């Protein structure tokens, strides 16, 4: 049962770290009503409802990434693909975020804003919010053994075999104990 708090801390930490992972984003780009096809330079930024930039793909707003576009469609991982990582708290701290996308087709016109900015919807926010709510409301002792799933109970109650032990523990168990290491009168028949 002593393993339960460690197990729960591990699970919550893993999920919280996952929330900072890249977020998929798909879009469409057309020039004068014709779907663009080819590779283009893009910038991505996440802004709050007042238009303040909270994250961008590069160090400056002019840093671009190359993205393949097929029949007008493209997909990127915001916070991945060589971009700046997403701050872990971003979706927890801001209830309304928009993706601002700029696009350069290589036609000499430079970066163009692909308006309107898109509201970030439920996917990353729902995952982060659920974890944050759970992590903030679970009190010590609130989870009982009866609340655990059978798979968790089986794992906690399983027999640890020699193969489960680390090499350092095996070495310690297999070492020779000398008489000088034993306290007097500790071995009885």
* Higher pLDDT pick, 126 / 57: 57
Look up residue 31 and give its two tokens: 């020039």
pLDDT tens digits along 138-158:
677 777 878 778 887 887 888
What was the pLDDT predicted at 27? 94
Look up residue 172 and give its two tokens: 């310690």
User: Does the global pTM surpass 0.75?
Assistant: no
- Cα separation, 55 vs 68, whole angstroms: 22
- Cα separation, 33 vs 36, whole angstroms: 9
- Cα separation, 19 vs 15, whole angstroms: 6
* Higher pLDDT pick, 75 / 146: 75
pLDDT tens digits along 8-25:
444 444 444 444 578 889
- How confident is residue 59, by pLDDT bands cut at 50, 70 and 90? very high
Residue 31, number of CB atoms within 10 A of its CB = 13
86 has which bridge partners?
none
pLDDT tens digits along 41-50:
999 999 999 9
Percent of the chain scoring above 70 in pLDDT: 76
């Amino acid at each position: 049962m002593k393993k339960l708090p460690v197990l729960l801390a591990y699970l919550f930490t893993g999920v919280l770290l996952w929330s900072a992972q890249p977020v998929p984003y798909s879009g469409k780009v057309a020039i004068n009503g014709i779907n663009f096809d080819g590779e283009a330079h893009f910038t991505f930024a996440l802004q709050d409802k007042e238009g303040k930039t909270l994250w961008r793909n590069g160090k400056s707003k002019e840093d671009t990434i190359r993205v393949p576009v097929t029949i007008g469609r493209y997909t990127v991982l915001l916070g991945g693909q060589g971009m700046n990582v997403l701050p872990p708290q971003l979706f927890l701290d801001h209830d309304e975020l928009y993706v601002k996308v700029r696009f350069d087709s290589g036609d000499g016109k430079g970066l163009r804003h692909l308006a309107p900015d898109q509201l970030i919807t439920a996917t990353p926010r729902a995952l982060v919010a659920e974890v944050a709510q759970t992590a903030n409301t679970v009190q010590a002792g609130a989870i009982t053994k009866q609340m655990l799933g059978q798979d968790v109970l089986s794992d906690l109650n399983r027999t640890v075999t020699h193969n489960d032990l680390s090499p350092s523990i095996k070495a310690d168990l297999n070492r020779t104990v000398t008489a000088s290491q034993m306290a007097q009168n500790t071995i009885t028949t």
